[in-house]
Amino acid sequence: MYFLRGLIKLIKVLYLSVPGFLLLMW
C-alpha cells in the first residue's frame, strides 16, 4: 500500500513537472 501511494505521488510530480520542462524547452 505504501509503495502504491509513493508511485502515485511520483506520477503526480512528473505530471506537474513535464509542462514546466516543455515551457523551458520552447
Q: Given this model, what pLDDT does residue 22 score?
A: 83
At residue 7, the pLDDT reads 94
Sequence-distant (6+) residues with CB within 8 A of 2 are none
pLDDT in the model for residue 23 = 83
pLDDT per residue as tens digits for the range 1-26: 788 999 999 999 988 888 888 888 77
User: Cell for 7?
Assistant: 508511485
**Residue the block writes with cell 515551457:** 23
pLDDT value of position 25: 78
4, containing H or E segment: helix 2-25
Rounded to whole angstroms, the Cα distance separating 7 from 1 reads 10
